[in-house]
Amino acid sequence: MKKKILGILGGMGPLASAEFLLSIYENHGSLSVEQDNPDVILCSLASTADRTAAILGDNDNNLYGILKDNLMKLQGQGVHRIIICCFTSHHFLSRLPKELTQSIVSIVDVALKEIKKLKRPALLLASRGCYEKQVFQASKLFSDASEYIIIPDEHDRAIVHDIIYTNLKVNPNKSLAYEKVRALLVKYNTDTFIAGCTEFHMLVRYMLSNRMNGVVSFVDPLHIIAENLEAFLNEGC
């Protein structure tokens, strides 16, 4: 039987999608038979314009065109499911052709399903573009999980955005990012955060490698997908 291929539209940012790929192979990799490893095609579009700047400025249509063209290229390579490794880019899902969206696994929806299942307050950590365009709220699944989602105030949304851009995207300082996130969780009286920007997958991996997840909990759809890849590839079959 032909193996199903996962497509990842990444590079937004490049470290986040690269670490997601590493998570997949760490969870499903075979050390004895190389050919048993998952087949994944990563399209790392590191040159893509900043998503927040684009959708809050005047570059919205250009970014949409880039996403659409490269999603079509991935689909043309025979992938069975596609992950857009950028939450802010999910702002464009409603505008994409149905033949494309049918193969996309929404990481927003994966997060919302997990929050509904956990039934515990969780602080949404996301980019300014994701907050302002209400990317999570636009999902049909949001109403079922909304009572458990804490949206930080405007001042703290700026802090979260700065964590992404200053402590995770460039010259990552995951230890400092962790301390800042933990302080925000204390302020909002919860121990759980939602990784609503793919850069926070890097923080999740740091926490797991240092066994910090007992103090701070997380809802990270990239981690969920990496752990349950086969189920996502077979979804809808």
Domain parsing of the chain, residue ranges = 5-106+224-234, 108-219
- Do 5-106+224-234 and 108-219 share a fold? yes
In the DSSP assignment, the letter for residue 170 is S
Question: What is the rounded average pLDDT of the residues 204-233?
Answer: 94
SS in 3 state form for 62-118?
A: HHHHHHHHHHHHHHHCCCCEEEECCCHHHHHHHHCCHHHHCCECCHHHHHHHHHHHH
* Averaged confidence pLDDT in the chain: 94
More confident residue, 178 or 36: 178
For residue 81, pLDDT beyond 50: yes
The pLDDT assigned to 1 comes to 61
Instruction: Write the CB contacts of 41 (distance below 8 Å, at least 6 apart in sequence).
Output: 5, 6, 7, 8, 74, 77, 79
Query: What tens digit of pLDDT does each residue of 132-172 get?
Result: 999 999 999 999 999 999 999 999 999 999 999 999 998 89
The pLDDT assigned to 215 comes to 86
Instruction: Tell me the fold of 108-219.
Output: Rossmann fold (3.40.50)
The pLDDT assigned to 58 comes to 75
Instruction: Determine the Cα–Cα distance for residues 37 and 62; give it in Å rounded to an integer.
Output: 36
Tell me if 198 sits within 8 A of 45, measured CB to CB.
no
Question: What is the rounded average pLDDT of the residues 6-22?
Answer: 97
Query: Percentage of the chain with pLDDT > 70?
Result: 98
The pLDDT assigned to 31 comes to 66
pTM of the model: 0.95
Query: What tens digit of pLDDT does each residue of 47-57 get?
Result: 999 999 999 98
Q: Name the nearest CA neighbour of 93 among 107, 114, 79, 80.
A: 107
Task: To the nearest 10°, report the CA torsion of 111, 169, 13, 93.
Answer: 40
Query: What tens digit of pLDDT does each residue of 183-206 get?
Result: 999 999 999 999 999 999 999 999
Instruction: Write the CB contacts of 47 (distance below 8 Å, at least 6 apart in sequence).
Output: 11
3-state secondary structure of 155: helix
For residue 237, pLDDT beyond 50: no
CATH 3.40.50.1860 fits 5-106+224-234, yes or no: yes
The pLDDT assigned to 212 comes to 85
The pLDDT assigned to 32 comes to 79
